[in-house]
Structure 1
Amino acid sequence: MKKTLLFILILMLVSGAFAYTLQWPEKEPNIIQKTKQVYEPGIMVIGTTITGTINYPDFEMVAPSQTGNTGNTGNTGSTLNAQQLIIGTWSSAANSNKGNYTAEITYKSNGIFSGWEDYPEVGEYYVYSGSFSVTGSTLSMDYGSLSLNGVVQNPMSLAFGISFPNNNTMNITASGGTVIYIRTGVQLSEIQEEKELMLQDEEIVVQAIENLEFVPLQGIEAKQVSETVQTGMSGTGFVINPNGYIMTNAHVVYVSEQEAIYKLYNAWFIQIQNEIYADVASRYNLTEDQKQRVIKSLSEKLIAYLSNYGQLSSINVDNYALPGVLLPGEAFTNIAWPADIKAKGQVIDEKAETISWGKDIAIIKVNQKNIPALKLGDSDQLSTGEQVFVIGYPNTGMDVVFDNKQTIEPTVTSGIVSARRTMTNNVEVIQTDAAINHGNSGGPVFNDKGEVIGIATFGSDEVQNIGFIMPINLAKEFMNEINVQNEQGITGQKFQEGVEAFFRKDCSSTERLMKEVLTLSPGMYYAQNYVTACQEARIKGLYSDDWLGQMWLFLVIAVLAGTAYYFIKVKKITISTKK
């Protein structure tokens, strides 16, 4: 009887294990996948906002001495100048000391002219071309090519008076009197002709902008302008202690006063440039090259104007840490945690006429408790050739802080340790071929055990597959300065246990543990995700925790096993006895 019960128990356990494995197939994730999911709540977007008030006298843009803006002598209501109005093809029929004649001449926007004059009474036919310019009411023409009845003549330069009674009539005045020319068209396509007739010649516009000067408004229009300007930057950080201590790079969170002024002025320049360019682009079809010329010209003049008249005040630099994922349209500063810098090193180290990367490490603190922390390793044990991987928020830039239009979540890059380098200031860095992009700075770098062995710091803009890491043992010096220990809290422990349960397809344990996490840390994005994932898995029939149903299955299997044993063993003995 004892043997029978033992056999049944073993069969039940084996059958039960078989049923459990079939229902909950385990697939152990690799170290990168496991580390990312376990530590995601402790890897954060670090945002820095810079705000200030720029004060300057309101300005207008004017041409030097306002020359060329009064070329119209007729009452046309046009504000266009003669240099613009002259563009096109003109014809004339007039009388001269050589008798009646006809003429046609074309002026192009590139400053070139060409035409002909026919004096049939004296048998003279002129063909010419050259360059021209208009200054005020004076037309200057340099005849570079001139022929009379096919015979080349000497080049010459002439000046005429010019006026426009209306857009289609041009008066040319010389010593012999005034000749009236009528616009007959342009030697361009119909669309370009319309642009010329509307006097929207792009190159002339660009040249006009390049000649503009920024000057303060005068008289009753003069006023002082105050504008709030903001800019920012972002990177990555990671929690080292559940009481709100976060490690990152110093260059991610620290901005000197000089750098803040530069960034604010630059943000203001870009804003003004974009406004002016948008206005010009809405009127004219500028090429990319013309656009760059306009921007370059405006930049230089804006810088000069603000250097003379502007000043910045009320400069503020604020740091934030964002746990979880930022969705499109969410306001970063509304949901991120304000942070204070508690310890930092130098970004750039300047000594004895040499410039080197400094101890680019900072520790910030948010007013939060129970944040899951990452486990720090020993960077001294890291050898060349070992695998490392970086988790961070690459290429986020300032848009994540002010105008986020995409989902921002951590990504992974991996590589190996290429070398260990000592810089000129004796600071050691770790070289890797793992990609370290803009935005990754300050993020954790892990070894193949899932321990943080460094801080992703900077990559090379010129050479691919070269990145540099600040060793975590160097960062521990800053932790010691402010007496912060690397430890995990109860929230982090339960979250890790919940993730591991999820890897085992144990949704009952996952939900229980993640709900405990949500009690300790309400609203944690990642914990709620696991609860939701398990709920969806049940609906789809992927997971089942119907233990009562499984117990009935075990009992059925046990009964069948007992019956089989009975017929195999007991019946066999009975038959043998009867014999």
Structure 2
Amino acid sequence: MAGSNLTRRRLLKAVPAVAGAGVAGCTGSLNDGGTDTPTETATPTPTATPDLPNVHQRTVQRDKAAITHVSAVVSGSISWPSYSVIDTVDESILGTWEGEDEQFVLTVDGEFEITGPDYSYSGTYVVVEDELVLEFDSGETSTFRYERQDGDSAPILELRQDGELAARYHRTRAGRSRDAVEVAEDLVLLEDEGAGTITESQDLEARASGSGFVVTSDGYVVTNAHVVLADKTPEEMLYRQLAAEQRRALREEFASGYDLTDSEKRQVEEVLFETFMSYYVEHGSVDHVAEQFNVLNGRATPDDDLEVISWDATVEAAGTVVTEVDGEPSWGRDVALLKVDREPLPTVSLGSAEDLRTGEEIFVVGYPDIGVDQLFEDRNVALEPTLTTGVVSARRTLNSGIEAIQTEAAINNGNSGGPMYDSDGEVVGVATFGPADAGIQEIKFGLPVEVVKEFMAEHGVENESSELDEAFEEGLNAYWRGDCETAIEKMETVLDLYPGHPYAGNYIDDCESGDAPG
């Protein structure tokens, strides 16, 4: 028996078989000296070679250890002066009002018109508490304290300046009511003044995530530049996080007062977000800012500590997410290089997109857009690579001169930065989903792998495989054809080189439990 060539795992598996053979049929010291009984040798039945998995399955199994979840965390403390939320339109005074030889119209759009026998004025207005502020088209501004009363036959509106009655009207036609989106658009945040002013502060964390793929065994990872926040400052990320939290709180009031469609809900949320964002950017300040980037390969469950099982990463280089061409925004070279201090790591092999044509199948492998909160609240949710498929809908050159592979494949925020494959399982691009706030059309596209290679070359990084990749692929091929002896040997080599490999042990377990193909 060649015991010196057995690994510990294989030796443990072999022990029962060796012991049984010694008792039942081996000659030597255990032989009782009797005459051996001849036995017939049966002709073994040929074992059919298992069918290979399809290209999707083969590619995912081959590369998923090199496909990573990329996360960015920005932390800091924001301070801002307290404010009041003001509705700048009072629906009770909307409509047409008649006074002595004068008509006064206030519209739901925030516009007014005053018409007399030989004059006419117009402009815009806002309501702040019990004051009506008129800004005339000429640029002049007049402020009135107003009071609406219920008259005997029609409502009465009185305007006063310096305590003196300036005008008195009765309403002849009521204005229309606003919808929820219009109400949201009419809200403003006014900084508190005087004794009621306080400075508020909050410690915040803002997170973003996407996918990536390892391109060198010594730890270089490719992803999208927007995944590592190349298009936003840390301060902007924190302001956005605070604005989103305040928007959610105010959104509940709208949800209880209106029966909103999904489209209206989105519009209300967008309007409220911009209102809060503008206030914090103008009046707020940020201190103690820190950024952290992490890379995870494999699978995370609610029982895992993501910060423990992820690797710290540094952003070595990042391209431009959005560029301006002739005064209009356009997508740039949305690629970034991360570096983790780990080796050897599994890698993907970069192919070519030069022959990729419209109508051809492509598929994307990446981590789904699962928030950390959802991961820990839903015990059935796991963070792991998934596959989406589609076709090339167009090859186009963007305004910025960047070549792009436009696709109808289901690419979402989580897939951003992940590898895009052709029907042969070759990496032909990096999947990209543009951020919704970039100010240009959201399209699902891939940057051709040639763009990635060019970016890597500019920073002295070359795609390379290693002994680890070779052993893993040989082990996979053996596993698929039902050769568990070779599969176990190769996967144990993988684990010797990279003890933390997230999947190699699964193939060994399948072979030992009899669940392998064949």
Report the TM-score when normalising by structure 1: 0.58
Say if 2:481 and 2:517, in contact at 8 Å, map to a contact too.
Answer: no
Q: Which aligned pairs between 1:3-22 and structure 2 lie closer than 5 A? A: 15-16=43-44, 18-21=45-48
Match for residue 93 of structure 2?
none
Q: Distance in 1 between matches of 2:392 and 2:247?
A: 44
Q: Which aligned pairs between 1:339-354 and structure 2 lie closer than 5 A? A: 339-354=313-328
What is the DSSP-based 3-state SS (H/G/I as helix, E as strand, rest coil) of the residue aligned with 1:39? helix
Return the match for 2:53 from 8, 17, 29: 29
Match for residue 480 of structure 1?
457
Match for residue 9 of structure 1?
none
Q: Residues 517-573 of structure 1: CA distance to partner in whole angstroms, max 9, x if unpaired?
A: 2222223221222233334436xxx789xxxxxxxxxxxxxxxxxxxxxxxxxxxxx
Q: Residues 202-234 of structure 1: CA distance to partner in whole angstroms, max 9, x if unpaired?
A: xxxxx9xx9997665976x97644321111221
Match for residue 415 of structure 2?
440
Q: Residues 150-169 of structure 1: CA distance to partner in whole angstroms, max 9, x if unpaired?
A: xxxxx36799xxxxxxxxxx
Q: Distance in 1 between matches of 2:73 and 2:226?
A: 13
What is the DSSP-based 3-state SS (H/G/I as helix, E as strand, rest coil) of the residue aligned with 2:370? coil
CA RMSD between the two structures: 4.4
Q: Distance in 2 between matches of 1:139 and 1:467?
A: 53
Say if 2:405 and 2:447, in contact at 8 Å, map to a contact too.
Answer: yes
* Alpha-carbon spacing, 1:380–1:366, altered in 2? closer, same or farther (3 Å): same
What is the DSSP-based 3-state SS (H/G/I as helix, E as strand, rest coil) of the residue aligned with 2:429? strand
Match for residue 45 of structure 1?
69
Say if 1:234 and 1:396, in contact at 8 Å, map to a contact too.
Answer: no
Q: Distance in 2 between matches of 1:52 and 1:338?
A: 19
- Is 2:504 the partner of 1:527? yes
Q: Distance in 2 between matches of 1:61 and 1:354?
A: 34
- Is 2:402 the partner of 1:422? no
Q: Distance in 2 between matches of 1:335 and 1:36?
A: 21
Return the match for 1:453 from 428, 436, 446: 428
Measure how far apart 1:374 and its partner are: 0.8
Say if 2:63 and 2:348, in contact at 8 Å, map to a contact too.
Answer: yes
Measure how far apart 1:399 and its partner are: 5.1
* Alpha-carbon spacing, 1:475–1:401, altered in 2? closer, same or farther (3 Å): farther
What is the DSSP-based 3-state SS (H/G/I as helix, E as strand, rest coil) of the residue aligned with 1:53? strand
Q: Residues 443-479 of structure 1: CA distance to partner in whole angstroms, max 9, x if unpaired?
A: 1112233221111123799xx9974221111211122
Q: Distance in 2 between matches of 1:253 and 1:380?
A: 28
- Is 2:455 the partner of 1:505? no
Measure how far apart 1:368 and its partner are: 0.7
Measure how far apart 1:375 and its partner are: 1.0
Share of identical aligned residues, percent?
32
Return the match for 2:80 from 40, 56, 79: 56
Return the match for 1:142 from 147, 151, 176: 151
Measure how far apart 1:303 and its partner are: 4.9
What is the DSSP-based 3-state SS (H/G/I as helix, E as strand, rest coil) of the residue aligned with 2:346? coil
Measure how far apart 1:422 and its partner are: 1.7
Match for residue 386 of structure 1?
360
| Letter aligned with residue 398 of structure 2 | M
Asked which structure has the greater CA Rg, the reply is 1
Q: Distance in 2 between matches of 1:419 and 1:276?
A: 42
Q: Residues 318-376 of structure 1: CA distance to partner in whole angstroms, max 9, x if unpaired?
A: 22211011213534333211211223221112133243211111111111101111111
- Is 2:340 the partner of 1:366? yes
Q: Distance in 2 between matches of 1:312 and 1:409?
A: 34
Match for residue 211 of structure 2?
236
Report the TM-score when normalising by structure 2: 0.64
* Alpha-carbon spacing, 1:301–1:341, altered in 2? closer, same or farther (3 Å): closer
Q: Distance in 2 between matches of 1:211 and 1:380?
A: 52
Q: Distance in 1 between matches of 2:281 and 2:317?
A: 35
Measure how far apart 1:286 and its partner are: 4.5
Match for residue 228 of structure 2?
253
Match for residue 431 of structure 1?
406
Q: Distance in 2 between matches of 1:364 and 1:267?
A: 24
Match for residue 490 of structure 1?
467
Say if 2:362 and 2:423, in contact at 8 Å, map to a contact too.
Answer: yes
What is the DSSP-based 3-state SS (H/G/I as helix, E as strand, rest coil) of the residue aligned with 1:434? coil
Q: Distance in 2 between matches of 1:20 and 1:57?
A: 77
* Alpha-carbon spacing, 1:300–1:444, altered in 2? closer, same or farther (3 Å): closer
Measure how far apart 1:387 and its partner are: 3.1
| Letter aligned with residue 518 of structure 1 | L
What is the DSSP-based 3-state SS (H/G/I as helix, E as strand, rest coil) of the residue aligned with 1:380? coil
Match for residue 332 of structure 1?
306
Q: Distance in 2 between matches of 1:414 and 1:32?
A: 9
Q: Distance in 2 between matches of 1:402 and 1:245?
A: 29
Give structure 2 stretches of 5+ with no counterpart: 1-40, 89-129, 131-146, 158-182
- Identify, as 1 or 2, the structure richer in helix: 1
Q: Distance in 1 between matches of 2:270 and 2:408?
A: 37
Say if 2:411 and 2:431, in contact at 8 Å, map to a contact too.
Answer: yes
* Alpha-carbon spacing, 1:466–1:252, altered in 2? closer, same or farther (3 Å): closer
Q: Distance in 2 between matches of 1:45 and 1:404?
A: 19
Q: Distance in 2 between matches of 1:484 and 1:348?
A: 24
| Letter aligned with residue 372 of structure 1 | P
Is the deviation greater in 472-481 or in 400-409?
A: 400-409
Say if 1:60 and 1:217, in contact at 8 Å, map to a contact too.
Answer: no
Measure how far apart 1:28 and its partner are: 1.0
| Letter aligned with residue 439 of structure 1 | G
What is the DSSP-based 3-state SS (H/G/I as helix, E as strand, rest coil) of the residue aligned with 1:454? strand
Return the match for 1:319 from 276, 284, 293: 293
What is the DSSP-based 3-state SS (H/G/I as helix, E as strand, rest coil) of the residue aligned with 2:207? strand
Say if 1:332 and 1:400, in contact at 8 Å, map to a contact too.
Answer: no
Q: Residues 181-202 of structure 1: CA distance to partner in whole angstroms, max 9, x if unpaired?
A: xxxxxxxxxxxxxxxxxxxxxx
Match for residue 515 of structure 1?
492
Measure how far apart 1:34 and its partner are: 0.5
Q: Distance in 2 between matches of 1:297 and 1:451?
A: 43
Measure how far apart 1:425 and its partner are: 2.8
Is the deviation greater in 397-406 or in 245-254?
A: 397-406
Q: Distance in 1 between matches of 2:323 and 2:369?
A: 26
Say if 1:415 and 1:432, in contact at 8 Å, map to a contact too.
Answer: yes
Say if 2:86 and 2:188, in contact at 8 Å, map to a contact too.
Answer: yes
Say if 2:71 and 2:210, in contact at 8 Å, map to a contact too.
Answer: yes
Match for residue 94 of structure 1?
none
Q: Distance in 2 between matches of 1:61 and 1:460?
A: 29
Q: Residues 368-400 of structure 1: CA distance to partner in whole angstroms, max 9, x if unpaired?
A: 101111111122233444332211123335757
* Alpha-carbon spacing, 1:59–1:443, altered in 2? closer, same or farther (3 Å): same
What is the DSSP-based 3-state SS (H/G/I as helix, E as strand, rest coil) of the residue aligned with 1:322? strand
Q: Residues 82-109 of structure 1: CA distance to partner in whole angstroms, max 9, x if unpaired?
A: xxxxxxxxxxxxxxxxxxxxxxxxxxxx
Measure how far apart 1:141 and its partner are: 3.4
